[in-house]
A = this chain, B = another copy of it.
Amino acid sequence: MTKTAVGRRLTERELKAWRAFLRAHSSVTRALENELVTAHDLSLPEYSVLVTLVEAPEHRLRMTELADRVLMSRSGLTRLVDRMQSDGMVDRFRCPGDARGMHAVLTDLGLQRLKESTGTHLRGVREHVTVKLTDEELDQLHALMSKLSCCERLAVGAGARVQIENGQDAL
């Protein structure tokens, strides 16, 4: 068992785990998004940007770094920051040391919006996720999830490369 069979269909066990994973993510994520939008008119990615910035030194981060951390493509982040900037939640400044780079910086309004909404979001995470699990299960979850993501380039742009490394089907 567990003989790493390649080229065959999934076992019942694999299939159930995998599908439950997809369902859980969809269900939790949707609930959180809905709550955040209806209560504070903030999308989950927007919230994610705010949190990431507030945790960063000086409340600022390079675009690329920010994109990686909020799990979005660079172009996606560019647009998101565009919108958030025109809503006044972040500003953009050219990097001092590197004229190519841009810093996204949290504004006062951004901080305020974050403070307003963080209660809702954390309550949501607790309600939809952590309350349903014991401490041991939370540790299990962390361990399992870490195994799933640690080996990939997290950067989004790496998609094509991953494909090629995996070989087999590529072009």
Contacts and interface: CB of A to CB of B under 8 A. Distances in A.
What is the interface of chain A mostly: helix, strand, loop, or mixed? helix
A9 B24 CA distance: 22
B142 A26 contact: no
Interface residues of A, number: 72
Given A16-B142, A25-B21, A131 B4 contact: yes
Nearest to A132: B147
A65 interface: no
Interface of A: 1-2, 4-10, 13-14, 16-18, 20-28, 30-31, 34-35, 38-40, 71, 119-120, 122-135, 137-142, 144-149, 151-152, 154, 156, 159-160, 162-163, 166, 168-171
